[in-house]
Amino acid sequence: MTPGAPRAAIVASGNELLDGRTRNTNAEFASRDLSRRGAKVLQIVTVADDASRLRAVLRDSLEAGPDLLVVGGGLGTTHDDLTAECIAAVLGVPLVEHPQALELLEERVRRLSQRRGLDFAQTFAVARRQALMPAGSTPVPPAGVAPGIAAQSGPTRIFALPGVPFEFESMWTGIADGLQGEGMFPSVAVTVVRIYGVGELQVAPLFESLPRDRLELGINVGGGEVTVRLRHAAEPEAAAQAAAVVAALRAGAPVFSENGDTVDDIVAERLRAGGSTLAVAESCTGGLLGARITARPGSSAYFVGGVLSYADRVKTERLAVPAGLLARHGAVSEPVAAAMAEGARDSIGAEYALAITGVAGPEGGTAEKPVGLVFFACAGPEGTRVREGRFPGDRESVRSYAAGAALHLLREALGA
Amino acid sequence: MTPGAPRAAIVASGNELLDGRTRNTNAEFASRDLSRRGAKVLQIVTVADDASRLRAVLRDSLEAGPDLLVVGGGLGTTHDDLTAECIAAVLGVPLVEHPQALELLEERVRRLSQRRGLDFAQTFAVARRQALMPAGSTPVPPAGVAPGIAAQSGPTRIFALPGVPFEFESMWTGIADGLQGEGMFPSVAVTVVRIYGVGELQVAPLFESLPRDRLELGINVGGGEVTVRLRHAAEPEAAAQAAAVVAALRAGAPVFSENGDTVDDIVAERLRAGGSTLAVAESCTGGLLGARITARPGSSAYFVGGVLSYADRVKTERLAVPAGLLARHGAVSEPVAAAMAEGARDSIGAEYALAITGVAGPEGGTAEKPVGLVFFACAGPEGTRVREGRFPGDRESVRSYAAGAALHLLREALGA
């Protein structure tokens, strides 16, 4: 562990998080944010809306004496919202109606009732239990309706927040910014190296023999990339070890990023800096590439638009892909990928255009064109590059790999 | 808890799951699958690649005596792959090279080496530690390279699988199908009721006073929907309680699904059954709606394609939105949403077309048109419906709400 880094534990409560209904985005958000600030997340426990189990998990999480315990969920108005009473039980204090929480709640319920045309008194009667808090705790101002709870147990600062993702995220960010201001997070250096085009088996041996006792080193794979992450205290010996590992990776593998920037970051920055524009033509990904590009605020500076040419008819009519080309080679082919990219570039009017056509599965595969076969192309001022990919996994996996591979092709075309 | 349901615990190991780098899709997948089969997931613990911590979590998870313990991750080739040795330690048995695992591994490494043009001997030397297993355990045939581990501890069957999502998912599905064949999963009834258009505060009071001691009842919100989930043993008294809750929800709230079908399921089924076709025109969502529609296998039966009209120029040129309309009302307006849907319907050639235009943020909001304001339209044979949404949260939240709201508008247009 990086010396001096505050240690955090995360508890997420909610039956919906245990039966696959709902993705645990709050734990993802808090762990990413804590890590970015230099804290170390020890563990994340997801637990049912069950008082005895939640109490046990809270007790266990406190036992390790973390600096922070972040609890998400269970602050709503229904019978399975148990967080406040369980924290009170674990702290050994009564649950009381907190005057300031009640005030915050009343104001929020009033606004909500007005906006939605609800009866205030009736709604407030249902919401009122959200002002119950462990004695001695402080309310965290709500982003939605429910206030959060700030409490202390021995060395651990406890923050319990509502489970609705935008409330959790906004309230946690406010709290963490406050803790940052108090100097809770130390100086930690993090280096993230990203590699595209080889697997973990080729990357791992590059650093296995190097000294790295002062590093926390993680390697993981996803979307065709290998990511190596180095964390260490901001001191010279650790920095030297990190630099040696990075140099070994650079020498032995196709490193495309050494500062943590993703392929999305890199192409966005290049397009913006060059005043370039981008269009897309998507078949099997059906919008996934466009959605990924426009997930980024400010993408309108370079992303113009695109065509989802799912049916072959749209490929010929909207992208001017010659019908003969489709008939000769099939929609999933190198020439059609190239024609789609060129058609998007011309018809939408952009400096660069990316095209994807493939067999995402589970149906539609043949011996010659199996599920996972994807062609992607990048048309630009210097011509058109086409690449073939054979991606593993299910439909979601193939589509996700394909969108990433297309961005890497654009990265190469942009010389990055 | 539903009586007779097998109880499961899930452990996911990996530093990348604790610092926000990687989404814990394996735990999501296993918990969803287990829940679908009628098992009850007690908790999910995500833990660092740290031997002492992983051992402690495995011990804790076994202590509750679950029927199943599913472990994901930590079976790779690097120094932080510790699952096999930690399971061995917890079971109190040595770690041994398993002959059958070695055979499976060798075959997989041979195939991988051929496909990627790697030196077999060198690659196999790196991979060989993946054949180390707790004495007395059985290898699970690999979906990728690494075999899984099947072991037993008291009443608990332990399955450890590699963390790469498609390997984990494919291997887990094979194991669970086998357990299903052995009769491990009992008869449990699950009813999922979905509501669109009101919030949790309006839904919760509808069932708070009804008898429900034989039900496991969960309520959660997301994407503008409220989902109520009822689980109970397949016996008459519990079924009657469930039916009463469902009737109360139907009477008091805009229920659109009582069988668990999502809005995505419903529109897909209606389009397919009616032989209808669908196109999209997306501005602020940039492809998210098309990606969501085409995430479904077989969507090519009704989804034709679309236009990502991110820039206004693409709205006029590709969707025939009158420039005067854009100038008068702005791109984020009711008339432009309608014109986009009608333009997509005409130019792509589909029976129905959905359009989305809005301010996803964080920039671009004004007093008159704040972040979160989205207009969406559905053009169809009976004319064009337009709706306004004001969605909370960040860019991702607004875009996700908008795609869902557009699907609900289509659902209404389809009379479902």
- Please tell me which of the candidates B31, B227, B300 has its beta carbon nearest to residue A20: B31
How many degrees, rounded to 5, is the angle at CA A134 between CA A97 and CA A108? 50
CB–CB of B45/B52 below 8 Å?
no
Decide which of A50 and B255 is more confident: B255
Nearest to B171 by CA among B102, B80, B72: B72
Same structural domain, B170 and B28:
yes
pLDDT tens-digit series, residues B401-413? 999 999 999 999 9
Q: Do B45 and A48 touch (CB under 8 A)?
A: no
User: Quick check: B219 and A394 CB within 8 A?
Assistant: no
Burial of A328 (0-12, 13-18, 19+ CB in 10 A): exposed
Mean pLDDT value of segment B138-143: 95
Instruction: Tell which residue, B90, B69, B95, has the closest CA to residue B7.
Output: B69
CA B399 and chain centroid, separation: 17
A298: nearest CA partner in chain B: B363
Contacts of B334 (CB under 8 A, 6+ apart): B375, B377, B386, B388
In angstroms, the CA A163 to CA A330 distance is 48
Give the three-state DSSP class for B284: coil
Pairwise CA distance, residues B74 & B26, whole Å? 13
Note whether B28 contacts A32, CB cutoff 8 Å: no
Report which secondary-structure segment, H or E, holds A130.
none
- Cα(A238)–Cα(B369) distance, integer angstroms: 51
Q: Please state whether A356 falls in left (phi above 0), alpha (psi between -120 and 50) or beta.
A: beta
Minimal-distance CA residue of chain A relative to B126: A201
b/e code B116-154 from CB counts within 10 Å (16+ = b):
eebeeeebbebbebbbbbbeebebbebbbbbbbbbbebe
Q: Are B114 and B83 in contact (CB under 8 A)?
A: no
A267 & A253 share domain: no
Q: How many CB pairs under 8 A join A and B?
A: 320
Question: What's the CA gap between B397 and A233, in Å, rounded?
Answer: 35
Torsion over CA: A278, A283, A285, A288 (sign): positive
Nearest-by-Cβ selection for A305 from B16, B164, B314: B314
Last residue of a domain, one of A181, A198, A231: A181
Q: Is the pTM of this model over 0.90?
A: no
Residue in the structure block whose two tokens are 């086409």: A386
Question: Does A42 lie at the interface with B, CB-CB under 8 angstroms?
Answer: yes
Quick: pLDDT tens for A168-189: 999 999 999 999 888 888 777 8
Q: How many domains does chain A have?
A: 3
Is some CB atom of chain A closer than 8 A to the CB atom of B362? yes
Average pLDDT, chain B: 93
Let me know if residue A2 belongs to a domain.
no
The answer to whether B7 and B67 are in contact (CB under 8 A) is yes
Q: Helices in A274-333 by DSSP H: which ranges?
A: 288-294, 312-319, 323-329
Q: What is the pLDDT of residue B63?
A: 86
pLDDT recorded at residue A4: 67
**Residue A162 is assigned to a structural domain of this protein:** yes
Q: Which of A126, A229, A288 sits opposite B205 (nearest CB)?
A: A126
Highest mean pLDDT among A120-134, B15-29, B184-198, B281-295: B281-295
Smallest Cβ distance to B287: which of A34, A169, A290?
Answer: A290
Number of neighbours of residue B296 by Cβ within 10 angstroms: 17
Q: Is the CB of B262 inside 8 Å of chain A's CB atoms? A: no
Query: Does position B187 have pLDDT exceeding 80, yes or no?
Result: no
Residue A1: inside a domain: no
Residue B139, SS3? strand
- Residues of chain A contacting B18 with CB distance shorter than 8 Å: 31, 35, 41-44
Q: What angle do CA A89, A91, A93 make, to 5 degrees?
A: 70
**Whether residue A162 is found in the same domain as residue A64:** yes
Q: What is the pLDDT of residue B19?
A: 81
Q: Mean pLDDT check: name the lowest of A261-265, B52-56, B242-246, B324-328.
A: B52-56
Rounded mean pLDDT of B16-36? 87
Please tell me the distance from the alpha carbon of residue A75 to that of residue A77, in angstroms, as a whole number: 7
CATH of the domain at B349: 3.90.950.20
A397 and A269 fall within a common domain: yes
pLDDT at A232: 87
pLDDT digits (tens, 9 = 90+) for B104-113: 999 999 988 8
Distances (CA, A) of B96 to A72, B85, B91, B126, B134: 41, 9, 13, 17, 6
Position A397 in a domain: yes
Q: Tell if the CB–CB gap between A43 and B43 is shorter than 8 Å.
A: no
pLDDT at A345 over 90: yes
Unique residue bearing structure tokens 């690649």: B49
- Whether B132 and B30 map to the same domain: the answer is yes
> B34 and B160: one domain?
yes
Per residue in B237-270, pLDDT (tens digit) is: 999 999 999 999 999 999 999 988 999 999 999 9
Bridge-based pairing state of the strands B68-72 and B156-161? parallel
Q: In this complex, do A218 and B16 lie within 8 Å of one another by their Cβ atoms? A: yes
Residue A302 in any domain: the answer is yes
Based on the fold, state whether residues B286 and B335 are members of the same structural domain: yes
Q: Is residue B24 part of a domain?
A: yes
Contact B45, B18 (CB under 8 A): no
C-alpha B186 chain-centroid distance: 24
pLDDT at B2: 47
Q: Are residues A144 and A118 in the same domain?
A: yes
Q: Is A323 on the interface with B (CB under 8 A)?
A: no
Nearest-angstrom CA–CA distance, A129 and A122:
13
Q: Do A20 and B33 touch (CB under 8 A)?
A: yes
Please tell me whether residues A206 and A139 are part of one structural domain. no
Quick one: B399 and B290 in the same domain? Answer: yes
Express as a percent the part of chain A with pLDDT over 90. 75
B201 touches chain A (CB under 8 A): yes
Q: Is A222 on the interface with B (CB under 8 A)?
A: yes
Provide the ipTM: 0.74
Task: From A181, A210, A243, give the residue that closes a domain.
Answer: A181
Q: How many angstroms separate the CA atoms of B274 and B91, rounded?
A: 57
- Mind giving me the DSSP string for A198-213? S-HHHHGGGTTTS--T
| B240 and A CB contact within 8 Å | no
What CA–CA distance (Å, rounded) separates A343 from B103?
Answer: 50
CB-based contact, B47 to chain A, within 8 Å: yes
Residue B118 CA to chain centroid, in angstroms? 35
Specify which of A115-129, A207-221, B156-170 reaches the highest per-range mean pLDDT: B156-170
Looking only at the bridges linking them, the beta strands covering B216-222 and B188-196 are unpaired
Whole-number Cα distances in Å, B162 to A39, A400, B159: 27, 20, 10
CB contact under 8 A, B19 and A229: yes
**Across the interface, which of A217, A305, A310 has its CB nearest the CB of B303?**
A310
Question: Is the confidence at residue B223, as pLDDT, over 90?
Answer: no
Query: What pLDDT shows up at residue A1?
Result: 42
Residue of B24, B227, B310 to mutate for A, most A C-beta atoms under 10 A: B310
Residue A151: strand pairing partners: A158
Flag if A45 and B41 touch (Cβ within 8 Å): no
- CATH code of the domain covering residue A202: 3.30.70.1710
* 3-class SS of residue A126: helix
Contacts 24+ apart (CB under 8 A), A99-105: A100/A138, A100/A139, A101/A130, A101/A131, A101/A133, A101/A139, A101/A147, A102/A128, A102/A131, A104/A139, A104/A141, A104/A142, A104/A147, A105/A130, A105/A131, A105/A142, A105/A145, A105/A146, A105/A147
- On whether residue B1 sits in a domain, the answer given is no
pLDDT of residue A287: 98
Burial of A145 (0-12, 13-18, 19+ CB in 10 A): buried
Does residue B2 lie in a domain region? no
pLDDT at B20: 73
- Nearest chain A CA: its distance from B136 CA (Å): 28
With 0-12 / 13-18 / 19 or more C-beta atoms within 10 angstroms meaning exposed / middle / buried, residue A51 is: middle
Mean pLDDT of the A93-118 span = 92
Hey, is the C-beta of B114 within 8 angstroms of any chain A C-beta?
no
Is the CB of B377 inside 8 Å of chain A's CB atoms?
Answer: no
- A224-to-A143, A199, A393 alpha-carbon distances in Å: 38, 8, 12
The residue range of the domain holding A400 is: 263-413
pLDDT confidence bin for B1, thresholds 50/70/90: very low
CB contact under 8 A, A16 and B218: yes
Question: Is B290 in CB contact (< 8 Å) with chain A?
Answer: yes
Are B304 and B227 members of one domain? no
Given A257, A274, A292, the domain boundary residue is A257
> Does the pLDDT at position A2 exceed 70?
no
At A335, is the secondary structure helix, strand, or coil? helix
pLDDT at B4: 67
- Cβ of residue A288 closer than 8 Å to a chain B Cβ: yes
Q: Which residue in B201, B216, B277, B332 has the most chain A C-beta atoms within 10 A of its own C-beta, making it the best mutation to test that interface?
A: B201
pLDDT at B190: 85
CATH of the domain at B72: 3.40.980.10
Nearest to A200 by CA among B164, B110, B108: B164
Task: Say yes or no to pLDDT of A301 above 50.
Answer: yes
Does the pLDDT at position A75 exceed 60?
A: yes
Q: Give me the residue from B18, B290, B294 closest to A44, CB to CB.
A: B18
Concatenate the DSSP letters of all residues of B207-222 into one string: HTTS--TT-EEEEEEE
Q: Return the pLDDT at A116.
A: 79
Instruction: Give the mean pLDDT of B39-45.
Output: 92
Q: Are residues A237 and A303 in the same domain?
A: no
Q: Which of A31, A48, A165 faces B42 most closely, judged by CB atoms?
A: A48
Least CA distance to A28: which residue of chain B? B20
How many angstroms separate the CA of residue B344 from the nearest CA in chain A? 11
Quote the mean pLDDT of chain A: 93
